Structure formats: structure tokens, C-alpha cells
């Protein structure tokens, strides 16, 4: 539900890029890491597949956030306060 609401807000332009977007990345990275460790420790392949799927999502979100950061730094937008 949170993902759908965030995506809807982004489409409507209600979620402008800010450096705080990196905060979306870290919890997912911890989940991916924990999924891989739990999958290996438990021997359940399904847990590792969940980790792999979330790793793909993490990679996409990381690249989107990196691109927004680079654009913001080059334009100077990340150094100005939001309206």
C-alpha cells in the first residue's frame, strides 16, 4: 500500500526529488541482505528468490536515486531549499 501511495504521489508531482530519497534505499538494502542470509541459513530457496527479486528492485531504485542526485548536483537544485 505504501508503495502504491508513493508511486501515485510521484506521478502527480507531489514528491519532488530530494536527498532524503536515499532513505528509501537503505531499508530495502537491509531486507535484501537479511533475505540472502536467512535463505542460506534455513535452506529455503524461496527466501533467496524473494531476496533476488528485491535486489532487482533495489538496483532500479538505487539507479533512479543516483540519477536524481547527479542531476540535482549539476543543476544546483539539491543545494537550494524546497519551496
Distance, CA of 70 to CA of 29 (rounded, Å):
21
* Cα radius of gyration rounded to whole Å, the chain: 16
Per-residue model confidence (pLDDT) at position 82: 74
- Reduced to 3 states, what is the DSSP secondary structure of residue 7? helix
Q: Tell me: the pLDDT tens digits for 19-35?
A: 988 998 999 999 999 99
Distance, CA of 68 to CA of 12 (rounded, Å):
17
Please report which residue ranges of the chain form alpha helices under DSSP H: 2-11, 22-42, 45-75
Q: Tell me: the pLDDT tens digits for 40-77?
A: 999 988 999 999 999 999 999 999 999 999 999 999 98
Amino acid at each position: 500500500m505504501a508503495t502504491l501511495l508513493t508511486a501515485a504521489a510521484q506521478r502527480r508531482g507531489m514528491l519532488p526529488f530530494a536527498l532524503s530519497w536515499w532513505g528509501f534505499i537503505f531499508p530495502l538494502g537491509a531486507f535484501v541482505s537479511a533475505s540472502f542470509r536467512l535463505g542460506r541459513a534455513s535452506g529455503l530457496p524461496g527466501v533467496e528468490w524473494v531476496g533476488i527479486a528485491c535486489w532487482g528492485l533495489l538496483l532500479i531504485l538505487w539507479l533512479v536515486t543516483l540519477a536524481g542526485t547527479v542531476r540535482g548536483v549539476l543543476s544546483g537544485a539539491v543545494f537550494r531549499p524546497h519551496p
